[in-house]
């Protein structure tokens, strides 16, 4: 009886493997195919352009002040030079802080803009996975899964796109 149980174990595993199904897709491609993706990208581009324009304006202003400082080096008394140098250092520090803050704000805006898309895509994937009885869905981006058996795995890219 013990021998029959040992022989049955590989058969049970084989049956379990045969019934195991999964889906796969490129998550990034699915995300980019969403109609809302282009609008989200446009919003981010506009925001990025505003921050870039402000950074350029501030850089131009700093360069102008720096040129004026260099021109006055030979004519200004020491106290005025020190004052101007201090002003330039403060201006530079504020500019650096602005660039860091704008980078942080842009990253947060990107998360906020794309978050609803990620949520919607997750819901679509969950729905497809449940409807088709998948054990899981694999993201094939970044060569993370170099081989997928088509005998047990199904490319769901078209099914996902049909949900948009």
What domains can you pick out in the chain, each with its CATH number?
18-161 (3.30.910)
Strand order in the sheet with 22-25: 136-139, 22-25, 153-155
Q: Crossing angle for the helix pair 35-72 and 78-132, nearest 10 degrees?
A: 170
- Per-residue pLDDT tens for 110-134? 999 999 999 999 999 999 999 999 9
**Confidence tier at 5 by pLDDT (50, 70, 90):** low
The full 3-state SS of 77-144, as one line of letters, equals: CHHHHHHHHHHHHHHHHHHHHHHHHHHHHHHHHHHHHHHHHHHHHHHHHHHHHHHHCCCEEEECHHHC
At 140, phi and psi to the nearest 5?
A: -90, 5
Amino acid 137: pLDDT: 97
- How many CB atoms sit inside 10 A of residue 29's CB? 13
Range 29-39 average pLDDT? 96
Q: How far apart are CA 84 and CA 90, in angstroms?
A: 10
Say whether pTM exceeds 0.75: no
Q: How far apart are CA 154 and CA 138, in angstroms?
A: 10
């Amino acid at each position: 009886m013990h021998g029959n149980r040992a022989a049955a174990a590989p058969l049970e595993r084989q049956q379990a493997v045969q019934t195991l199904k999964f889906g796969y897709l490129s998550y990034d491609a699915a995300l980019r195919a969403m109609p809302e993706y282009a609008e989200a990208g446009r919003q981010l581009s506009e925001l990025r352009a505003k921050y870039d324009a402000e950074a350029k304006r501030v850089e131009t202003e700093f360069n102008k002040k720096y040129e004026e400082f260099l021109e006055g080096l030979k004519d200004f008394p020491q106290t005025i030079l020190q004052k101007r140098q201090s002003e330039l250092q403060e201006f530079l520090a504020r500019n650096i802080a602005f660039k860091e803050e704008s980078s942080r704000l842009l990253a947060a805006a990107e998360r906020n803009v794309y978050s609803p898309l990620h949520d919607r895509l997750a819901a679509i994937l969950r729905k497809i996975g449940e409807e088709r009885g998948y054990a899981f869905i694999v993201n094939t981006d970044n060569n993370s899964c170099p081989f997928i058996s088509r005998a047990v795995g199904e490319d769901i890219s078209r099914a996902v796109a049909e949900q948009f």
